[in-house]
Amino acid sequence: MVNVFLYAPQNFHNICLLSRSLEYFGLTDCYVFDPHRLVRDRYGKYRRRQLRDLSRGTFEIICWNRVEAPEEFFANPPGRLVATVAGPPAESVTSFKFGPSDIILFGSESCGLPAAVVSASAASLTIPAYGRTQSLNLAVAVSVVLYEYRRHVTVCRSSS
């Protein structure tokens, strides 16, 4: 099963929303390098309400695997690192050949993935844009990529 790695997410709402996508597509774990400390064991009343409303209970279902030293993780990853980027020369997510042990890396909302992380990855993929907007919201991008992964796995199984 594919894994997701969030690199320095900056928006609490996105974490809540993408937890729904992770669970929806059957993932139970997510790696996260979280220098902004968005993922916590406890939250105050206001954040708990947001968490409940946005994630609909899925945030607590996901096992958030903290990665405190991403450089060490990337030096010896438990699978193929696949960077998501905003455009060419990355391969389109619709034609990308996913592997069962892929770790799909998603960058922060404002900066994306650092260049060193992209260059250390075995592959990179992009969601083709047809309008003028440069990139998608993090939670939306995770959903699109996981949908394409599931579609790819289903097509590969049915053709074998």
Does residue 35 have a cis bond before it (omega within 30 degrees)? no
Give domain limits for the chain.
3-159
pLDDT band per the 50, 70, 90 thresholds, residue 159: low
pLDDT band per the 50, 70, 90 thresholds, residue 134: confident
Average pLDDT, the chain: 92
Could you say which architecture CATH assigns to the domain 3-159?
3-Layer(aba) Sandwich (3.40)
Question: pLDDT of 99-128, one tens digit each?
Answer: 989 999 999 988 999 999 999 999 999 999
Question: pLDDT of 58-69, one tens digit each?
Answer: 998 999 999 999
What pLDDT, on a 0 to 100 scale, did the predictor assign at position 34? 95
Q: What is the pTM of this model?
A: 0.92
Measure the CA–CA gap between 18 and 143, rounded to whole angstroms.
7
Residue 28 structure tokens: 């139970």
Residue 154 scores a pLDDT above 70: yes
Straight-line distance from the first to the last Cα atom of the chain, in angstroms, rounded to the nearest whole number = 18
